[in-house]
Amino acid sequence: MKKTYLILLFFVVSLVQLHAQKTSSFYVDAGGGFSSFQDVKYSNVRYNGFGSVFGLGYQKENEKTIWGVNLQAIITTEKAATHDQKVSTYNSMLQAKYLHRIKENLFVGATWDVLDLYTKKFDGLGNNSGYDVTGSTLWASGIYDYKKLRFGVDLGLVSYFKESTGFAFSAPQNVLENGNFDYQNDKINSPFAFKYYELRTIPRHFQVRTSIRYQLSNRFSVAYKWHLRKFSEVKNYPVTYGTHSLSIRYNIFKRTK
């Protein structure tokens, strides 16, 4: 009888320890990506190109929550089918996320892109060669685990951002002062001139991200990610851009206790 109680006690303690496990990891990501860009208010031409993706972050998980912070960047060189000029594209993001388990293997919560910098440099356009979109976005997030696979989806809820004047020098209406445009106003193209930021939600601003990650081992995993963003300063003339990426993650340290 005593032996039975000892076995039962051991089982209960083991079960509690299993469910109390916490996993912390610090990781780096590296891989390749494909990006696409079109701004219909300037041209119907679409730019496409390949490049590299990088990232690093910290993540902590237990049986109830997943939270973490990370920095990621994608750098590509795009070209149009109609001409040979190249476009250098840089997109870097500082992110934080928190998700709570609502049922077995399913977590829901939010991701905050604290800072999202999207920059393009067009060859051969002189002073008007630059274009950028700077801002911050709050996402509704979900994660589902199945064996060694982790599926993720994010839907942009609200974005606070600013679009620059662009290579055709078309400016958003909110930069007009008393109906006039001040060409000497340096804040118009400053990414941190919050005076000209706008708050937008669906459907005027649409963003979605998906990911699939496969755990190869305790240290390594591989992931495919897709991101689409679409918004309109001028009705029916949207800016649309997106990325596909394939990357490998290496856990510099991964601790379970």
Does the residue 209 lie in any domain?
A: yes
Does the residue 150 lie in any domain?
A: yes
Tens digits of residue pLDDT in 102-148: 998 999 999 999 999 999 988 765 555 678 899 999 999 999 999 99
Q: What are the angstrom distances between the C-alpha of 34 and each of 121, 188, 211, 229, 250?
A: 17, 30, 15, 14, 21
Whether residue 194 is predicted with pLDDT greater than 90 in this model: the reply is no
Nearest of 110, 76, 105 to residue 95 by alpha carbon? 110
Residue 7 in contact with residue 229, Cβ under 8 Å?
A: no
Give the residue numbers spanning the domain of 152.
Answer: 24-256
- Those residues whose C-beta lies under 8 Å from the C-beta of residue 58, and which sit 6 or more positions away, are 24, 25, 26, 27, 68, 69, 70
Residue type, 158: V
Does the residue 232 lie in any domain?
A: yes
Count how many domains the chain has. 1
Nearest of 110, 12, 22, 11 to residue 63 by alpha carbon? 22
State how far the Cα of 93 lies from the Cα of 65, in Å rounded to an integer.
23
CATH number for the domain harbouring residue 80: 2.40.160.20
pTM of the model: 0.81
Does the residue 240 lie in any domain?
A: yes
Burial 90-104 (b: 16+ CB within 10 A, else e): ebbbbbebebebeee
Confidence of residue 166 (pLDDT cuts 50, 70, 90): low
Does the residue 96 lie in any domain?
A: yes
Q: Mean pLDDT over residues 9-32, rounded?
A: 68
Q: What is the pLDDT of residue 19?
A: 47
Does the residue 2 lie in any domain?
A: no
Residue 107 in contact with residue 77, Cβ under 8 Å?
A: no
State how far the Cα of 229 lies from the Cα of 5, in Å rounded to an integer.
59
Tens digits of residue pLDDT in 217-226: 999 999 999 9
DSSP secondary structure code for residue 126 in this structure = G
State how far the Cα of 43 lies from the Cα of 41, in Å rounded to an integer.
6
Does the residue 3 lie in any domain?
A: no
Residue 71 in contact with residue 98, Cβ under 8 Å?
A: no
Does the residue 212 lie in any domain?
A: yes
Q: What is the pLDDT of residue 191?
A: 64
